[in-house]
Amino acid sequence: MKQEVSNQYYLESAPMKKAIFHLSVPMMIGMSVGTVYNVINAYFIGLLHNTSMLTAITLGLPIFTVLMAFGNVFGVGGGTFVTRMAGENNTAKGKQIAGYTFYASIIAGLVIALLAMLAINPLTRLLGADAATFGYTKTYALTLFAGGFAVVLNFALEQLVRAEGASKESMYGIFISTALSLIFDPLFILILDWHVAGAALAMCLANLGSAVYYLYYLEKRSQNLRGFLKQFRISLQDQLEIYKVGISELLQCAFLIVSTLLLNNYSIQYGENVVAGFGVALRIVQIPEFLSMGLFLGLIPLFAFTYASKNRARLTSSMKYAFSYIAGISLVFVALVFAFRGPVLHLFSSDNSVIGMGTYILGAMLVSALFNGFTGLFMSIFQATGQGAQAAVVAVTQGVLYIPVIILLHHFFGLHGVIWSMTITEVITSLLGAILFIGFNRKLRKLGQEGNPQNAVPAPAGQV
């Protein structure tokens, strides 16, 4: 019980630096380990020295993105709702929301699998597979979709765990999935020789393992959500509240899929080495991006709790710290990744053409990573505070804008345009997010000035 009470303390009244350390550092560690998890299967596939297989799992990246996004629809929408209910001391409703999130995520995962299997051949072609990679890509996709419910459930439950500030437990779940992946990947890919099917199966089982842990925590140790599995029915209005916030995740994913498909289909025109180079660079650049992601994801419960409890001063303080830390992380780690990009690329491929192309692509993606953290922070603030429209606008812009950008840049600059299109889109989206945030921040200040003292609780001593 002591640990559970302390989680509430960090959301409610802990000094700000202490609260951020408790909420975000475990998430940053977890996301960093998660980066390793995401590159593990690419590493073991790379040991087979088969560029077609490496290309196939790169082409299959959108599948995991879709599954993760559906998990986050329920997890982010339901999780922020649960946190706001905690801020209003309405734990009974929080359990109902959590129960609905659990069951709906499983149903969604199974429906996705059924639909995907019925249309697997056109889906494989849509992913950008050519004659050389079609078989491997189809096998990878079928396996990943079959076990995809575990991915959806895992991401939904992780958000529920973080909803009450249990960042350490969220980190432990990521550790579990990473450890399982380190066991299953070499077993399935190298020893049993299941190659791409083994990579997909390992990913599903690793996600299932962490989902089981999260379920155990929520049912046995959670202060506010124990017994949530007995709840399922919620009102239509509450369902809409979940989807209003969570839909931004799906919109972002939908456009990310379109973006990835465009990228795959354009890059495959320049050879498998270009696609493989993109795949390797994407995984490496996740190091600074995931550190920033760990910071702002860890702070979502703090944003949601302080907003729901009308503690404007604490909310403002948390956002100021978040922006300064994101800037520091982005600059330092992007510089480090850029400095060691050569040796790191050699870990994934011995093909000089893949390494050369990957080095160039990685440079462009690191520029994008400088802005990506801020875009994610804007999205997190909007989601946590129930600003569904602003979150959706940022998500839609990030996807819609990329389509004309990559088409135009490819037309005028060829491969160079394809490589830099993502960077240009990210910069513009981040600037739009800043404009929307300025409007939201003005509304917060106005509410604090016009409301009574309860609407602008002063920060505790030592907090800022």
Q: What is the pLDDT of residue 461?
A: 35
The rounded distance, in Å, linking the Cα atoms of 68 and 155 is 6
The structure's pTM equals: 0.71
Give the Cα separation of 21 and 298 in Å (integer): 9
- Paired residues of 311 in beta bridges: 456
| Res 37: pLDDT | 62
User: Rounded to an integer, what distance in angstroms lies between the CA atom of residue 316 and that of residue 307?
Assistant: 10
Model pLDDT, residue 81:
86
Domain boundaries, the chain: 16-451
Q: For every one of its 464 residues, what pLDDT tens digit does the chain have, with 9 covering 90 and above?
A: 344 445 777 888 788 888 888 888 887 877 677 666 667 777 787 777 777 788 788 788 778 888 888 888 888 888 888 888 877 778 888 888 889 999 999 999 999 999 999 988 998 888 877 788 888 889 899 999 999 999 999 999 998 888 877 778 888 988 898 889 889 988 988 888 888 888 889 989 999 999 999 999 998 888 778 878 887 788 888 888 888 777 777 777 777 677 777 887 888 788 777 877 887 787 777 777 778 888 888 888 889 888 888 888 888 899 999 999 999 988 888 888 888 877 877 777 677 777 888 888 888 888 888 898 899 899 889 988 878 788 888 888 877 888 899 999 999 999 899 889 989 999 999 999 999 999 888 888 776 555 444 444 333 333 33
The pLDDT of residue 114 is 94
